[in-house]
Amino acid sequence: MTDIIHPDVFHGLPVLTLPAPDAPGAGKPASPGSVAWRLECAWGGETFPEHWQRFLDEVDPAGVRALLIGPWWEDEYSSFQPVVDAIAADAHRFPALRALFLADVESEECELSWLQMCDITPVLEALPLLEELTVRGCGEAADGVNLRLDPVRHAGLKSLRFESGGLPGHIVRAVGASDLPSLEHLEFWFGSEWYGGDASVADLAPVLSGSAYPALRHLGLQNSEIQDEIAVAVASAPVVARLDSLSLAMGTLSDVGAEALLGGQPLTHLSALDLHHHYLSGPYVARIEELCAGAGVRVDLEGAEDWDDEDDESRYVAVSE
């Protein structure tokens, strides 16, 4: 299993959590733009609207370059909607904001599948200069609404990452239908069907065609129960020729997918190939290592998992619940 933890660095900046109200303020940096600010509500403490207002009062938002939203509930787990509402309403106060991490919550705080996400479209619409967006989680809220995204036009976005234990196909389709001319890094964690991960290879057609994102250099199609099917599609996907790095890690990749990759289009132009957490046999690991070594491709084949090759259900993704 892959640990879901807080990043120490985000958008190239050290992460600093906004101190609690009763903490001394001496530790705050002189420049709001010198760190990535992380906001989190404590159990029984401030509500998110209160915490957000204190952040605006104590830190000049005009200088903030990167922002991470940690636990936003002060009592019971609740919908992410107040966070989206606050960011969208005050977006004009953040002219320098270039990176946003929605739901920087680790497993000990809340399981990935329990995070009650919502429609994040207003955030992208309100922040046209945003360059990096990471979205973690896809739990269903009490009102039945979970993570949603409408197709958007966003000229500034360079990196888009969805970390999920069960990513709905409609999210993948919305990304594929979006106009993102500057996108260089795209990463999907598909997760398990048990937790709502119903994306299919067909949903990836715009991405794999190579026509959707002319600037794309890294593609991560990860953490999937259909990793072999994805590998078969990637083996002939036009987008691969323009990539610098590719990840099919964290999923149920077996010899079937490896055979497709080895027999498909060349991968020797890549600088890095990530296949960690896999179900490959020794001979296929050796073939991939030999291919990559000969071409100078950095390859990650760590995390070989044991499984019953007569029982596909014995294979599992790295991140689900």
Tell whether the model's pLDDT for residue 141 goes beyond 60. no
Query: What average pLDDT does this structure show over 117-135?
Result: 97
Q: Percent of the chain at pLDDT above 70?
A: 93
pLDDT at 312: 64
Lay out the sheet containing 66-69: strands in order across: 9-10, 13-17, 36-39, 66-69, 99-102, 132-136, 159-163, 185-191, 218-224, 245-247, 272-274, 298-300
Residues 186/173/210/180 CA torsion (nearest 10 deg): -60
pLDDT at 75: 83
Spatial neighbors of 297 by CB under 8 A, at least 6 apart, are 267, 268, 270, 271, 272, 273, 291
Question: pLDDT per residue over 197-233, tens digit each?
Answer: 999 999 999 999 998 899 999 999 999 999 999 999 9
pLDDT at 1: 55
pLDDT at 237: 98
pLDDT at 42: 78
Residue 191 — left, alpha, or beta (φ > 0 → left; ψ -120 to 50 → alpha)? Answer: left
What single string gives the DSSP state of each residue in 70-81?
A: ----SSS---SH
Query: What average pLDDT does this structure show over 10-34?
Result: 83
pLDDT at 134: 98
- 21 falls in which pLDDT band (50, 70, 90)? confident
pLDDT at 4: 86
pLDDT at 321: 84
pLDDT at 168: 92
pLDDT at 308: 62
| DSSP 8-state code for residue 210 | S
Query: Residue holding tokens 């594929």?
Result: 176
Give the closest residue to 118 by CA, choosing from 171, 164, 167, 81: 81
- Among 38-47, 76-85, 251-260, name the most confident range: 251-260
Tell whether the model's pLDDT for residue 139 goes beyond 70. no
Which residue stretches of 28-70 are H helix? 48-58
Give 42 or 280, the one with higher predicted confidence.
280
Rounded to whole angstroms, what are the CA distances from 272 to 65, 209, 236, 301?
29, 21, 18, 11
Mean confidence (pLDDT) of the chain: 92
Query: What average pLDDT does this structure show over 90-110?
Result: 96
Question: pLDDT per residue over 145-202, tens digit each?
Answer: 689 999 999 999 999 999 999 999 999 999 999 999 999 999 999 999 998 899 999 9
Tell whether the model's pLDDT for residue 258 goes beyond 60. yes
Contact at 8 Å (CB) between 162 and 171? Answer: yes
pLDDT at 113: 86
φ/ψ of 18, rounded to 5, equals -55, 125
For 44-48, 90-94, 220-224, 247-251, which range has the lowest pLDDT when averaged over its residues?
44-48
Tell whether the model's pLDDT for residue 26 goes beyond 60. no
